[in-house]
Amino acid sequence: VITGTSAGGINGAALALTQVNRQKDPAMLRDLWIDQGRIESLLRQPFRGQPTSLLRGDEYFLPRLHAALEMLSAAATDPPGTCASPREAPIDLSITTTVLRGNEAVSVDSTGQRLPQSLHAARFHWERRPDTPDAADPFAQHQQRRTAHRLALAARSSASFPVAFEPSFVPVGSPDHREPGPGEALTAETTLRPDMADLVRGWGTSRTGDRSRFCVDGGVLANTPTLAALSACEAMPAAGPVRRLMLLVFPHAPEPGLQQPDVMAKPPTVAGAVSGLLGALTAQGGRSYVESLERHNLAAAGRRGARGDILRVIAGEPQPGPVPLQELVAAIYPQYKRLRRWRAGRDLAAWRTGMVDDEFAISDLPPEWNFDRVRSAAERAQDAWEQGTGQRPGRPVPYYPTLPPATTRVGERGWGWGISPALGVAEAVNDLLRRLVWVLPPGPSYDVVESARTDVLQLADLIRAARGHTDDCWQHDPVLLALPPNQSYWRLRLACYDHLMRGTVTLDEIDAEVTALAGVDDDRRAAVRTALAAVLQPHDRPAPGHVGGYVRALVRRVVLRLQPVLGVLKDEIAVLEALDPDLAHWRTVLFPGDNPAATEVDVLLTRLLQLEVASTTLGDEVRSGATLPVELVQVSARTDNPFAEVTRSPADKLGGDAVNRFGGFLKRSWRVNDWIWGRVDGSTILSRTMLDPRRIRRAARVTGYLARRVGPAEARVLAEASVDEVVAGLGLDVAEVATERQLAVDELTEVFRTDIADGDLPSALPHLGALFAWGLHLGSVAEELPALAQAIAADRVDGANPRSRGEVFLAERAELLRRLDQGRLDPAGVSRADRREALTAFDRAGLGSEPMEQEAGSDLVIRTAASAAAVAA
Q: Which helix (H) or strand (E) holds 19?
A: helix 7-20
Residue 799 confidence (pLDDT): 87
Residue 761 confidence (pLDDT): 93
Residue 664 confidence (pLDDT): 67
Residue 706 confidence (pLDDT): 86
- Rounded CA gap, 329 and 617, in Å? 9
Q: Against a cut of 0.85, is the pTM above it?
A: no
Residue 362 confidence (pLDDT): 46
Counting as low any pLDDT under 70, the low residues of the chain are 40, 46-51, 108, 110-112, 220-224, 258, 278-289, 300-304, 354-367, 407-412, 620-627, 656-664, 856-857, 859, 861-873
Contact 762, 693 (CB under 8 A): yes
β-bridge partners, 201: 123
**Rg of the chain over all Cα atoms, to the nearest angstrom:** 31
C-alpha pair distances (Å), 628 with each of 465, 625, 736: 19, 10, 41
Half-sphere exposure of 864 (CA within 13 A, CB side): 22
Residue 623 confidence (pLDDT): 56
Residue 279 confidence (pLDDT): 66
β-bridge partners, 388: 393
Q: What angle in degrees, to the nearest 10, is found between the helix axes of 546-571 and 601-618?
A: 100
Residue 47 confidence (pLDDT): 54
Residue 140 confidence (pLDDT): 93
Using alpha carbons, select from 570, 245, 320, 558 the residue that is nearest to residue 431: 558
Domain ranges of the chain: 2-223, 379-607, 650-686+774-872, 692-763
- Rounded CA gap, 830 and 841, in Å? 15
Using alpha carbons, select from 77, 105, 116, 316 the residue that is nearest to residue 201: 105
β-bridge partners, 348: none
- Rounded CA gap, 426 and 460, in Å? 6
- Rounded CA gap, 663 and 183, in Å? 47
- Rounded CA gap, 392 and 408, in Å? 28
Opening angle at CA 281, ends 276 and 283, nearest 5? 85
Residue 218 confidence (pLDDT): 75
The sign of the torsion formed by the CA atoms of 241, 246, 252, 253 equals: negative
Q: From the centroid of its chain, how far is CA 274?
A: 33
